Amino acid sequence: MKKQKNSVFKYWRQYKWSNIFAMMRNNRGNPSICSEDFTGDLLVITGATSGIGYYTTRKYASHGARVLSINRNREKSERLCEELQQDFGVECSYLIADMSRMDDVKRVGKELSDMNETIDVLIHNAGVYLTRKSLTEDGFETTYAVNYLSSFILNYLLKEKLKTQDRSRIIMVNSEGHRFAVWGIKPDDMNWQKRRYSGLRAYGSAKTAQLLSMLIFNDFFKGSIVTINAMHPGAVKTATGKENSRLYRRFKNLIIDKMSRSPDISAEALYYLGVSKEVESTSGKFFNLTTEEKPAPPALDREIAERLWSVSLRDGGFDDGKL
């Protein structure tokens, strides 16, 4: 068998300074604003109880959206719904699922696909940043499970339903942090058993995996009404990293948060990408807020995307192996 080319050299020539400069420029930019209405349309969003998900849900509700959020915490979900009903008078419901538990994710995926309602916008937002390696009950590395596998499974279970709808947009809250996977991802070691774990590398790997899955889902949705895009929500002040050590949280509090912007910009961007007519037929793209950007080379590697696809089907427990 032909030996796999060392991925250091595989991608090295594909890196372009112009793309890095574009990212730096875009990081200082502001999102395009969409003032179109969303009254009565349905937003389904994961991780709406904090940070970007919370701001985004309020943004959609302020434009009349009906909201169905998927969260792990019942009390916070109740509170969110009460708040949205009180502040905007919109319909709000929720499903409880821990995105690190694949049974939960599949149960919710099935409920959504059986639901006799159009999902106008589906936002995969739930995510974590973990400086220490941890394993889920199912034995997956947690960042891989929450930041990637859960969105893969939901998309996989919903793909047929979404195709039958009049309209549907999938948006994945990704990150410029996908660039931390500088040398690419290892589909045969997504759980970090063969390599030394680092929070940044695991985060970069999971976000790169999500961008790679977008390539294949986008092929599947071609010719249909469904669009699928990914975005970086800005470097914004949220509760991310709260599971990490006290030292990390202190560092975040004193340094990172001081340089971070308000999640209002993330919400504006996610509203624009979900609702604006200007991006109605745009699909398979990565945006920094609302500016289209070229992802890092490892996130465009089709060969790895296909290998990851098989691994994801296996880890998601989909034995048929068919798209």
Ligand X SMILES: NC(=O)c1ccc[n+]([C@@H]2O[C@H](COP(=O)([O-])OP(=O)(O)OC[C@H]3O[C@@H](n4cnc5c(N)ncnc54)[C@H](OP(=O)(O)O)[C@@H]3O)[C@@H](O)[C@H]2O)c1
3-state secondary structure of 226: strand
Q: Least CB distance from residue 48 to ligand X, whole Å? A: 6
Any residues with CB less than 8 A from the CB of 254 and at least 6 apart, and which?
A: none
Provide the minimum distance between the beta carbon of 191 and ligand X in the complex, in angstroms, as a whole number. 16
How is residue 259 written in tokens? 């340089």
Q: What are the start-end ranges of the E strands in 98-210?
A: 121-124, 168-173
Across the chain, which distance is largest between two alpha carbons, in Å? 63
* Between 140 and 221, CB nearer to ligand X: 140
Q: Where are the beta strands (DSSP E) in 204-253?
A: 226-232
In the complex, what is the shortest distance from the CB of residue 22 to ligand X, in angstroms, rounded to a whole number?
A: 17
Name the residue nearer to ligand X (CB basis): 7 or 59.
Answer: 59
Give least dist CB 159 to ligand X, A.
21
Q: In this structure, how many other beta carbons lie within 10 angstroms of the beta carbon of residue 138?
A: 14
| Residues 63 and 271: beta-carbon distance below 8 Å | yes
Residue 190 or 236: which CB sits closer to ligand X?
236
Q: What is the dihedral of CA 173, 179, 183, 184, to 10 degrees?
A: 20
Rounding to the nearest 10 degrees, give the CA dihedral for residues 85, 89, 91, 95: -20
CB of residue 207 vs ligand X: minimum separation in angstroms? 7
- Residue whose CB is less far from ligand X, 7 or 206: 206
Q: Using the minimum distance from each CB to ligand X, give the nearer residue, 127 or 184.
A: 127
Please give the residue ranges that form the binding site for ligand X (CB under 6 A): 47, 49-53, 71-73, 76, 98-100, 125-128, 146-147, 173, 175, 177, 232-233, 235-236, 238-240
